[in-house]
Amino acid sequence: MQFAPFGRTGHESSRIIFGAAALGSMTQDRTDRTLELVTVAGINHIDTAASYGESELRLAPFLTDHRDEVFLATKTGERTGAGARAELELSFERMGVDSVDLIQLHNLVDPAEWEAAFAADGALAALVQARDEGLVKHIGVTGHGVTVAAMHLRSLGEFDFDSVLFPYNHTMLANPAYAADVAELLTLCEQRSVAVQTIKSLAVGRWPEGYDGPQFSWYEPLTDPDAIARAVGNVLSKPQLFLNTTSDATLLPDVLMNADYFPNPTAAELDADVEAFGMTPLFDDGELATI
């Protein structure tokens, strides 16, 4: 496992972050075995959210014994101050903790929701208050869709967030406008020592219409080990980036196989995977995701 400073937080995070959305519908027994693999692999950073099903509840037994060993992040999708504070306190109750290392405004991409969250009585003010009280150490912002990088730039223009999170994969970056926004965002984050988390690295595209097989993530992921290695390498070969694992935990071993030694794929190799696996962008221009 490789480790790097998580922005200016002072934490040396594993560059692969465990995306605990994978625990949302798991049994506790399966969760315990998954978290054992996470621990053995050296992951010391867990990212969950209030909206990830039973994820926070499933983490509670693990955190009883390992809270001091991990950087713990969760998210609130509430936009009012009262709602965000209540959801944060519920997250504490569900996880059996009295603080988190990072609280994130979840999927803050809709302009109207952005205005509500940044209002005087909005979610951000409540999270700052929680930070002042010592309940959270750091505050971040996350999002989906092709407008997310531009919205993160707007957010960073108004508040000095400690981290950002957004989709990063070859098909999305083939969109010139999105790629330009991402490049600008990465430059700003480097200047300010803002941690950069990426999601959807393994995304093939949306599930085909009529598909009735198992769906452990809301999008269809890569399953070919070599293609997974290239997708992981496409992220980890950029030292600034952290990779949040997919919500399909069956693919976790394949991702972890590339935790230290990963390829640095060429654009031609990634283009070949797009062709071979029928990969398409998850989001259309202007579309806002709700996941």
> 112 in a domain, yes or no?
yes
Note whether residue 63 is domain-resident. Answer: yes
Q: Is 161 left (phi over 0), alpha (psi -120 to 50) or beta?
A: beta
Looking at residues 214-237, what average pLDDT do you find? Answer: 91
The residue with greater pLDDT, 228 or 289, is: 228
**Rg, Å, the chain Cα set:** 18
pLDDT above 90 covers a percentage of the chain that reads 88
Residue 242 lies in a domain: yes
Domain around 91: 3-277
Q: Is the confidence at residue 285, as pLDDT, over 70?
A: no
More confident residue, 208 or 74: 74
Residue 77 has pLDDT above 90, yes or no: yes
The total number of structural domains that make up the chain: 1
Q: How far apart are CA 186 and CA 209, in angstroms?
A: 35
What is the model's pTM?
Answer: 0.93
Instruction: Say what percent of the chain tops pLDDT 70.
Output: 98
For residue 173, give every residue at least 6 positions away whose Cβ sits within 8 Å of its Cβ, in sequence order, or none.
Answer: 179, 182
Domain membership flag for residue 286: no
Least confident of 21-25, 207-211, 220-224, 287-291: 287-291
Nearest Cα residue to 215 out of 36, 18, 25: 25
CB 237 within 8 A of CB 206: no
CATH of residue 157? 3.20.20.100
The whole-number average pLDDT for the span 216-224 is 87
217: pLDDT strictly greater than 80: no
Tell me whether residue 287 is in a domain.
Answer: no
pLDDT at position 110 is: 95
148 in any annotated domain:
yes
Contacts 24+ apart (CB under 8 A), 184-191: 184/149, 184/153, 185/149, 185/152, 185/153, 185/156, 186/240, 188/153, 188/156, 189/7, 189/156, 189/164, 189/240, 190/240
Report if residue 289 sits inside a domain.
no
Residue pair 164/196 in contact (Cβ under 8 Å)? The answer is yes
Return the pLDDT at 214.
76
Tell me, yes or no, whether 141 lies in a domain: yes
